[in-house]
Each structure stands twice: as C-alpha cells, then as structure tokens.
Amino acid sequence: MKARQVYVPLIAVVVFLALWEALVWVMGWPNYKMASPSDLVPAYEKYWSLFLVMGWQTLWRTVVGLLLAVVFGIMLGMVMGFSRTMRDALYPLLVGFNAVPKATVVPIVALMFVGAHDFNTVLIAFIISFFPIAVSVSIGLSTLEPEYRDILRSLGASQSTIFWKIALPKTLPEFFGALKVSVTLAFIGTNLMEIVSPHGRGLGALFDSGKTNSDYPLMFAVLIALAFLGIVLYYVVVALEKVFAGWADRSV
C-alpha cells in the first residue's frame, strides 16, 4: 500500500513530463513560445541559489498565511456552526467576498500597507485560503446530531467543550479536505502579491524577472518549482490527516 502511494504519483509525474516534452517536440515550438522539461534543467542549474532563497521566502509566507487561515477559519466556523443566526448573516458576506477576484484586492492591500512586503504577502495568502476551512467547520458543526448536544449540555458541558470533544473530531475529515484546497489557494495568494506588487522577493519575483528578460525557460522553471512546493505542503497535510483522522480512511 505504501509503495503504491509513492510509485503511482512518481510514475504519473514522469508520464506528464514525457507527454509535455513530446508535445513541444511534435509541435516544433521554440523555447520562447513553450519551454520543454529539458529546457528547465539549465535554468535550475544557472539559478539554483535564487530558487533556494526565493523558494524559501515564498514557502514561509505561505505557511504563515495558511496557519492564520486555519485559526481564523476554525473560529469563524465555530461561530457559524453553533449559531443559525450568525450563519445566515455571515454566509452571504463570505460568499460575496470570496467572489471578488483577489488580483483586484492585491493592489489595494499593497497601497494600504506600503513597504510592509512580508505582511502584505501573508495577508493575501490568509485572505484567499480561510474560506474553505470556515465553511467546512461550519457545515460539520451545523450537521452535528442534536442528541449529542442535548446530552452534553445536560451534563454541564460548554459550547467549547462540545466543540473540542465531539464536534471537531467529527468534522476532521471535512476539515482536512478543505485544508488541502486551502494549501493551493494560499500559494496562489502569495504569488499574486509577489507578481502584482513586486518587491524582489519570492518565486513570484523570480517569475517576473524571467518575464522582463524574456527568459521563458526560467518562467516555466518557476512554475514547476511552485507546483513542487504545493505538492510537498499537500503531502504534509495528508500526513497530518493520517495521524488525526486516519480512522475516516475507507480506502483498501
């Protein structure tokens, strides 16, 4: 089982890269139109130190924004899950806010907090990633069987006790499912700020540099690096899910 979970994704990646290389070769595209995987190797060799430094800058900002989204999303989900009134009041606001393209929010945030590059980037990563977490927790709590609440309340349990002892374990599968989505959204938010409001930091800045210098292999290399970081963080969430919600796994 464990071997399959390692080899199957690796084979899928190899097949994807091979098809990508074949497509570029068959279409006869030059690397300034569509870089192939073989064009990316020289870019990594030439700029490996920049990839390490800027990759770390992107990663830690994304992780901080995601952690803030987890804390805020759980708290907001608790409020909406335990109160029908708050759920009815906040859901339209959250849906409306989430429908706003975040690329339009980035310049506003950059102007509001001029010079606070790290704060701006973490803030956008947080803003774009908390919504799925809040919704998953809210749905999990609102669908909690009323018998559990009645029994625990009759025993003197508070709302927080009900949440930590009963509701949260019940919502863990949905929570980790939403967290997997939030991981990718957090990376999108980080790179939106790094590209739209450039400040010379992160992989978004490296991508923007490649665009400015018409270095298309570098641009594609940055995209693959971002995908790699996203996959790593995704599997970190998968590992945490196995630890805290492994009981919900029905796969054979």
Q: Yes or no: say if 239 and 230 are a contact pair by the CB < 8 Å rule.
A: no
- Express each pLDDT in 152-191 by its tens digit: 777 777 767 776 777 777 788 888 889 999 999 999 889 8
Residue 252 predicted with pLDDT over 50: no
Give 36-248's CATH code, choosing from 2.60.40.2140, 1.10.3720.10, 2.60.40.1180, 1.10.10.10: 1.10.3720.10
Contacts of residue 219, defined as CB under 8 A and 6 or more positions apart, other chains included, come to 35, 207, 210, 211
Higher per-residue pLDDT: 72 or 155 = 72
- Express each pLDDT in 198-237 by its tens digit: 677 889 889 988 888 888 889 999 999 999 999 999 999 9
| Torsion angle (degrees, nearest 10) of CA 154, 159, 163, 166 | 0
Q: Residue 32 CA to chain centroid, in angstroms?
A: 30
Q: What whole-number distance in Å separates Cα of residue 177 and Cα of residue 234?
A: 11
